[in-house]
Every structure is written in structure tokens, then in C-alpha cells.
């Protein structure tokens, strides 16, 4: 194996102590980011729930909206003033009266470039050891999330997410070079599993892995294991903290990963003819439809349950369309983006025949029969949330452009 010659990034893993006061925690994080900058780092990673003691009773109280809350403002400013990428551990996020365990990522201009809501909540019941039910206080996220640092692609997970190998495998399939897990394992599950799981995820996906824990506080209700660490794709620990309040500064050389990928090319050796790991796009009809066309209002009945959602493989789906005939409603995935079905079919045929033809679908029977008008005739708003697509009816909306539909 070639020995690594140049460092691609210098990362700081900030294993800070979490105090009872949120503003104090934020101020400490900002200071540690500044110190990481002075150490030459371009990336700083904070721990899970670094603003909040890890306690179901406190999550809602400490929660804030993203990106307008106190923590986000401070992290954005810290990223910008230090010209660094900041992976903001996690904070309790308040959204639509729900609380999520959410990681924000900030680029060197202070822009929010990714958000990951913990997908697998920490619900365990080990008599005599650990009992925790995070789902009593938090809602789960539904998507996998990556961000780009120059040429490097980074996949995000939060703590318990690291137990799920499919999730990491999907990041590997998406080409991630580095996986980052802010995490707070406890002193019961930390010793047997923390380091092993990080090592598995690194080795099986041939990626670097950074796991950032808070420092241990033996007086808190939930005692964190600490031991933040950085693992290389060979399964070797590059740096590991002990349980104390401390930071790691680590050089990551991605030529190591490139070499391992060439030498042991497991990424190309998967037998997808006999097994596969897929990332699903879920299409959901959220509300019953009520739309207006040609002056006549149509009240559409509630869909049968089985027609209300469909799942597709995100990675392989190029063109897929579903009609919900009772509502005349359609939804499609076109080049991995959600579009309304009639637009999808138009695109599809236009691509196929390299022409600008009009396609008359059932929607268009109720709208105007030309292509531009059919785009304008929008019976629903399509928003690409998390893993899925939520279709929310909108009445008589004739002003949206195709970009609005795809990007909304
Ligand atoms: N905060 C967490 O998700 C803890 C996960 C954990 O300890 C585990 O064993 O899993």
C-alpha cells in the first residue's frame, strides 16, 4: 500500500463538556471552533446534543428552529469567521411542534449546507443496564443526508444511526469518503460497542469515520462514554480521546482510501443480482384533493390507504410514474426528482424522441392541452422533503413554473 503523503483535511473533534445552560454550551463550542482554526483545521465536528444534557425531559425545552435559532446563528457565524466547515453535532430541533435530534452543517461562508435528523432513535431496554426511550421525546428523521467538502463527500448519521450498516452502505454507494457520527454512547454500551461499531463502519465501507462524543460527566443523569475517535478506512484508529474534556486534531489523507478501494475493490464486487441495499423514495399523498379546473370544482374522495404511498429505489430509479386514478393525481420521479406525472410523461417522451411534443394525460384533459400550459396547470405542490415527496393540494394555481414545482 502507498503510504499517505499529503493531508487532504485537518479535522477537529471537539469533545466538550455539556453544562446545564444552553448559552454557556454554545459559547464553549464557538471558542473551541476558534481554537481548532488556530490549530490549522478546516473542519470541526461537535458532539450529539452539545447544547443540551441528554435527557428526554429537557429536549423540548432546549429545542430551537433551524436555521433561525440561537445555536444555528452562533455556528453559522463561527464557520464564517473562521472559514471552516462546522458539523454542528446535534441539537433538539423544533419543527411543526415536533422535536427532532438534528445535525446542521455549515460551510466556510456560514451557509447551512446540510441537515440530518437522527433516523434511528435510541430506544433500548436492557434490564440492569440501560433503559432509554428517545422516541418518547423526539421524532425520527426520514432521510439520509450528505454534503460536499470540495471533492470530498461526507455522509451524516447521529449516534444510534451508527448501528445500522445499511445506512452506511448507502452512503458508500453514494460515494462518501467520510462518515460523521456525533454520538453519546453511555458508559454501559460504550465499552463493548462504540469503538467496534465505528471500526465496522469504516472497514466495511472503506471510508474514514469521525465519531464525536461529549466529555463524561459522572454527575449527569446520562453519563457519556466519551472516547471520540477518528478511524481510517483500514480499520485503524487514528486518534482516540479518553473520557475527559479535550479535542482531537487529525490529518485525514484520502489517498489512503483511494488505495484501499483499488486494492480491495469490494465496492465493485457486490452481487446485486442476489442481494441489494436500496434507498427508498416514498411518494405520499398527504391530503385529499380538492381542485378546480375549467371552472368546475371537483371534490375528490379520499384515496384507499394502499394508493396513498409508494416506495421506489432512489438509486436506480430514473423514470417512474404512479397514477392515483381516483383523484386523477399522479406523481413521478424523473431523474431522481419528484415531478407531477403529466410533466414527467412530457419530459420522458420529449427525451425519447428529442422533440417537444404534447402529451395528453388525464390531467390535461382537465387543463389546457398544450405543453407550457400544462406545466402551469398545477394541481398540487410537490415538495421533496426527507426521503420522500409530500403532495399537498393547492387550488387553482396557474402561476407556478416548472422550477417551482421541482424545487419547491
Ligand atoms: N444517543 C444515542 O443514540 C445512544 C446510542 C447508544 O448508546 C447505542 O448503544 O446505540
Residue 329 in this model has a pLDDT that exceeds 50: no
The three cell numbers of residue 356 are 417537444
At residue 384, the pLDDT reads: 26
Spatial separation of the C-alpha atoms in residues 74 and 70, rounded to whole Å: 6
Residue 163 near ligand 1, beta carbon < 6 Å? yes
CB neighbours of residue 333 within 10 Å: 23
Output the CA 102–ligand 1 centroid distance in Å.
15
Confidence of residue 311 (pLDDT cuts 50, 70, 90): low
**Of 247-261, 273-287, 340-354, where does mean pLDDT reach its minimum?**
340-354
| ipTM (interface predicted TM) | 0.98
Q: Which residues contact 383 (CB under 8 A, 6 or more apart)?
A: 389, 390, 392, 408
pTM: 0.76
Report the nearest atom of ligand 1 relative to the CA of 122: 3
pLDDT mean across residues, the chain: 77
Task: Please choose from 92, 134, 160 the residue to mutate so as to test ligand 1's pocket, defined by most ligand atoms within 8 A of CB.
Answer: 160
H, E, C per residue of the chain: CCCCCCCCEEEEEEECCCCCCHHHHHHHHHHHHHHHHHCCCCEEECCCCCCCCCCHHHHHHHCECCCCCHHHHHHHHHHHHHCCEEECCCEEEEECCEEEEEEEEECCCCCEEEEEECCCCCEEECCCCCEEEHHHCCECCCCCEEEEECCEEEEECCHHHHHCHHHHHHHHHCCCCEEEEECCCECCCHHHHHHHHHHHHHHHHCCEEEEECCCCCCCCCCCECCCCEEECCCCCEEEECCCCCEEEEEEECHHHHHHHHHHCCHHHCCCCCCCCCCCEEEEEECCCCEEEECCEEEECCCCCHHHCEEEEECCCCCEEEEEECCCCEEEEEECCEEEEHHHHHHHHHHHHHCCCCCCCCHHHHCCCCCHHHHHHCEEEEEEECCCEEEEEEEEEECCCCHHHHHHC
Beta carbons of 72 and 114 less than 8 angstroms apart: no
Beta carbons of 55 and 62 less than 8 angstroms apart: no
Residue 96 in this model has a pLDDT that exceeds 60: yes
Confidence of residue 398 (pLDDT cuts 50, 70, 90): very low
Instruction: Read off the pLDDT of residues 226-270 as tens digits, 9 standing for 90 and up.
Output: 999 999 999 999 999 999 999 999 999 999 999 999 999 999 999
Residue 216 near ligand 1, beta carbon < 6 Å? no
List the catalytic residue out of 22, 41, 103, 118: 118
Report the nearest atom of ligand 1 relative to the CA of 120: 3
Q: Check residues 391 and 387 and name the one with the higher pLDDT.
A: 391
Spatial separation of the C-alpha atoms in residues 192 and 225, rounded to whole Å: 11
Instruction: Read off the pLDDT of residues 43-88 as tens digits, 9 standing for 90 and up.
Output: 999 999 999 999 999 999 999 999 999 999 999 999 999 999 999 9
- ω into residue 67 within 30 of 0, thus cis? yes
Average pLDDT score over residue span 291-318: 40
Residue 127 in this model has a pLDDT that exceeds 80: yes
Residue 111 in this model has a pLDDT that exceeds 80: yes
Residue 2 in this model has a pLDDT that exceeds 90: no
Residue 122 near ligand 1, beta carbon < 6 Å? yes
Average pLDDT score over residue span 20-47: 98
Mark whether 159 is an active-site residue: yes
Mark whether 118 is an active-site residue: yes
Residue 344 near ligand 1, beta carbon < 6 Å? no
Confidence of residue 359 (pLDDT cuts 50, 70, 90): very low
Confidence of residue 345 (pLDDT cuts 50, 70, 90): very low
At residue 354, the pLDDT reads: 42
Amino acid at each position: 500500500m502507498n503510504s499517505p503523503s499529503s493531508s487532504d483535511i485537518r479535522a477537529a473533534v471537539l469533545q466538550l463538556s455539556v453544562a446545564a445552560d444552553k448559552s454557556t454550551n454554545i459559547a464553549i463550542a464557538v471558542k473551541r471552533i476558534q481554537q481548532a482554526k488556530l490549530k490549522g483545521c478546516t473542519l470541526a465536528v461537535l458532539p450529539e446534543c452539545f447544547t443540551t444534557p441528554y435527557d428526554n425531559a429537557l429536549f423540548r425545552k432546549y429545542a430551537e428552529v433551524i436555521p433561525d435559532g440561537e445555536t444555528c446563528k452562533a455556528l453559522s457565524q463561527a464557520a464564517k469567521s473562521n472559514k471552516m466547515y462546522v458539523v454542528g453535532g446535534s441539537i433538539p430541533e423544533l419543527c411543526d411542534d415536533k422535536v427532532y435530534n438534528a445535525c446542521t452543517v455549515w460551510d466556510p461562508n456560514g451557509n447551512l449546507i446540510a441537515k440530518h435528523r437522527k433516523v434511528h432513535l435510541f430506544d433500548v431496554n436492557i434490564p440492569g443496564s440501560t433503559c432509554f426511550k428517545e422516541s418518547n421525546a423526539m421524532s425520527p428523521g426520514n432521510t439520509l443526508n450528505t454534503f460536499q467538502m470540495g471533492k470530498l463527500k461526507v455522509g451524516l448519521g447521529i449516534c444510534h444511526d451508527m448501528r445500522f450498516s445499511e445506512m452506511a452502505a448507502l452512503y458508500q454507494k453514494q460515494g462518501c469518503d467520510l462518515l460523521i457520527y456525533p454520538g453519546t454512547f453511555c458508559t454501559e454500551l460504550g465499552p463493548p460497542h462504540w469503538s467496534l461499531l465505528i471500526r465496522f463502519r469504516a472497514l466495511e465501507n472503506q471510508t474514514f469515520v469521525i465519531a464525536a462524543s461529549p466529555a463524561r460527566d459522572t454527575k449527569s443523569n446520562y453519563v457519556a462514554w466519551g472516547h471520540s475517535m477518528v478511524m481510517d478506512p483500514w480499520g485503524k484508529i487514528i486518534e482516540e480521546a479518553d473520557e475527559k474534556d479535550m479535542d482531537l486534531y487529525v490529518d485525514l489523507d484520502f489517498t489512503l482510501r483511494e488505495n484501499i478501494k483499488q486494492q480491495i475493490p469490494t465496492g465493485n464486487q457486490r452481487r446485486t443480482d442476489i442481494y441489494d441495499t436500496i434507498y427508498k423514495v416514498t411518494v405520499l399523498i398527504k391530503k385529499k384533493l380538492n381542485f378546480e379546473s375549467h371552472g368546475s370544482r371537483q371534490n375528490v374522495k379520499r384515496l384507499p390507504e394502499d394508493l396513498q404511498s409508494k416506495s421506489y429505489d432512489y438509486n436506480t430509479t430514473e423514470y417512474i410514474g404512479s397514477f392515483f386514478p381516483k383523484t386523477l393525481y399522479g406523481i413521478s420521479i424523473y431523474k431522481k426528482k419528484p415531478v407531477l406525472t403529466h410533466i414527467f410523461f412530457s419530459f420522458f417522451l420529449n427525451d425519447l424522441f428529442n422533440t417537444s411534443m404534447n402529451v395528453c394525460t388525464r390531467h390535461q384533459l382537465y387543463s389546457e392541452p398544450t405543453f407550457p400550459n400544462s406545466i402551469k396547470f398545477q394541481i398540487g405542490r410537490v415538495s421533496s422533503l426527507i426521503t420522500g415527496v409530500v403532495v399537498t393540494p393547492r387550488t387553482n394555481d396557474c402561476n407556478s413554473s416548472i422550477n417551482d414545482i421541482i424545487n419547491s
